[in-house]
């Protein structure tokens, strides 16, 4: 079994022997018990001459190969969302190109695509009509290439809306422009501080009422809503009030096993960034659930929660670094370089603990490769 020397937080080395049994990839069955979307990362081109702060340079082969891996597992792809570093390295121009490439590569896959207002500088907004036009532009561009929509939260709207009714108006008009039902996205401020007070209120209950008003008024245009608030009670409370036929997609990267399993009053589907590194486990677990084995479902997913909690620890917006690190360890890309230089946004102890936790969960698909790459990272730090 593979072994290496790992440092503790004081730099003291001790031997570490891998103990995990890699989980064999297997696709979801037809008509699975839950719909699973993976908010998927983008692989940077390490040979680009672009500065990290400049326009995104994408490694298309690796980016599309990873999406093929997800589609082969029967998982849905949530394209060009925050896991793809949207607004943190991937601008709208780059996002649209990723969307086009994914749809061309995987014409039969379940793919929804992020439409927002991120090409609009909030400082340039004069009225909420400017926000509407920005939404219209991205919706039209995605639908022109045959894409389904995830309607992303808008920093510009959060800054310039003066009352909850402004949200109702903007979403009403944006949804009217969508030709198929969409997934709404309520992203908490822990993921993006610029979205504090979304839906026009500082407290959850008032914000939820506005979101529910939008959904109820436009229920024929809403497939579901993903909420990323890292609070299971808030999600459950809102889930129980959704109109019939509107799905709750959990975005809770801390409590997803319980929320997906559900209770006697309902359950959540999933649209999760953590399912990028957990794709094989997620497919395996929901296969168990589809067969009526709720205990097997929890036995597969529960051990992954400590890893997810570490990946998404504060500052939460830097969770993408952990996601891409695990993709590199597992051979889905040849390097650990990220858009906007984001590979530098976590310290060495974060990576060493991720390595240990990924091993314990059976996530290291090629143990020898993972050890070799971990040693390369350690060498860069002088270990």
- Give me the numbers of helices (H) and strands (E) for the chain, helices first please: 14, 10
Q: What is the pLDDT at residue 27?
A: 96
Q: What is the pLDDT at residue 123?
A: 85
**Measuring CA to CA, how many Å separate 76 from each of 87, 253, 279, 304?**
22, 17, 10, 20
Q: What is the pLDDT at residue 114?
A: 98
- How many residues are there in the chain? 383
Q: Residue 254 gets which letter from DSSP?
A: T
Sign of CA dihedral 214, 219, 222, 227: positive
Query: CA–CA separation, 211 vs 186, rounded Å?
Result: 9
Query: CA–CA separation, 151 vs 233, rounded Å?
Result: 23
Residues 6+ apart with CB under 8 A from 153: 116, 185, 186, 187, 192, 195, 198
Q: What is the pLDDT at residue 205?
A: 96
Q: Residue 58 gets which letter from DSSP?
A: B
Determine phi and psi for 297, rounding to 5 degrees. Answer: -60, -50
Q: What is the pLDDT at residue 368?
A: 95
Q: What is the pLDDT at residue 8?
A: 83
The pLDDT tens digits along the chain (383 residues) read 578 999 987 889 999 999 999 999 999 999 999 999 999 999 999 999 988 888 889 999 999 999 999 999 999 999 999 999 999 999 999 999 999 999 999 999 999 999 999 999 888 899 999 999 999 999 999 999 999 999 999 999 999 999 999 999 999 999 999 999 999 999 999 999 999 999 999 999 999 999 999 999 999 999 999 999 999 999 999 999 999 999 999 999 999 999 999 999 999 999 999 999 999 999 999 999 999 999 999 999 999 999 999 999 999 999 999 999 999 999 999 999 999 999 999 999 999 999 999 999 999 999 999 999 999 999 999 98
Q: Is the separation of the CB atoms in 28 and 287 below 8 Å?
A: yes
First vs last Cα of the chain: how many Å apart?
22
Query: CA–CA separation, 209 vs 214, rounded Å?
Result: 9
Query: CA–CA separation, 362 vs 381, rounded Å?
Result: 26
Determine phi and psi for 16, rounding to 5 degrees. Answer: -130, 125
Long-range contacts, stretch 256-263, CB < 8 angstroms, 24+ apart: 256/301, 256/305, 256/308, 257/285, 257/297, 257/298, 257/301, 257/302, 257/305, 258/232, 259/232, 259/235, 260/34, 260/286, 260/289, 260/297, 260/301, 261/289, 261/294, 261/297, 261/298, 263/236
Q: What is the pLDDT at residue 155?
A: 94
């Amino acid at each position: 079994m593979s072994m290496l020397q790992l440092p503790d937080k004081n730099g003291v080395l001790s031997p570490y022997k891998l103990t995990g049994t890699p989980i064999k990839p297997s696709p979801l069955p037809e008509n699975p018990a839950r719909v699973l979307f993976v908010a998927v990362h983008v692989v940077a081109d390490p040979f680009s001459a672009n500065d990290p702060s400049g326009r995104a340079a994408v490694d298309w082969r690796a980016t599309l190969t990873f999406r093929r891996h997800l589609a082969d597992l029967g998982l849905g792809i949530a394209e060009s969302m925050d896991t793809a570093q949207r607004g943190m390295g991937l601008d709208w121009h780059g996002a649209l190109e990723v969307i086009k490439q994914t749809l061309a590569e995987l014409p039969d896959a379940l793919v929804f695509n992020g439409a927002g207002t991120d090409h609009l500088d909030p400082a340039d907004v004069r009225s909420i009509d400017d926000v509407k036009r920005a939404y219209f532009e991205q919706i039209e561009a995605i639908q022109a290439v045959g894409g389904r929509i995830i309607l992303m939260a808008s920093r510009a709207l959060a800054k310039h809306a003066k009352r909850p009714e402004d949200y109702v108006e903007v979403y009403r008009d944006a949804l009217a422009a969508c030709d198929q039902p969409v997934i709404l996205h309520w992203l908490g401020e822990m993921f993006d501080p610029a979205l504090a007070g979304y839906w026009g209120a500082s407290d959850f209950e008032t914000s939820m009422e506005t979101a529910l008003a939008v959904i109820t008024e436009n229920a024929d245009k809403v497939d579901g809503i993903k909420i990323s608030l890292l609070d299971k009670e808030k999600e459950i409370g809102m889930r129980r009030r959704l109109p019939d036929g509107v799905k709750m997609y959990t975005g809770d990267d801390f409590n997803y096993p319980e929320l997906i399993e559900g209770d006697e009053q309902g359950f959540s589907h999933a649209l999760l960034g953590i399912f990028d590194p957990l794709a094989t486990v997620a497919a395996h677990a929901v296969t168990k659930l589809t067969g009526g084995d709720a205990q097997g479902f929890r036995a597969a997913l529960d051990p992954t929660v400590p890893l997810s909690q570490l990946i998404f620890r504060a500052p939460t917006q830097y969770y993408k670094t952990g996601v891409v690190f695990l993709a590199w360890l597992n051979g889905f890309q040849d390097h650990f370089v990220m858009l906007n230089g984001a590979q530098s946004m976590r310290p060495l102890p974060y990576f060493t603990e991720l390595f240990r936790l990924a091993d314990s969960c059976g996530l290291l698909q090629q143990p020898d490769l993972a050890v070799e790459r971990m040693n390369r990272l350690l060498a860069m730090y002088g270990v």
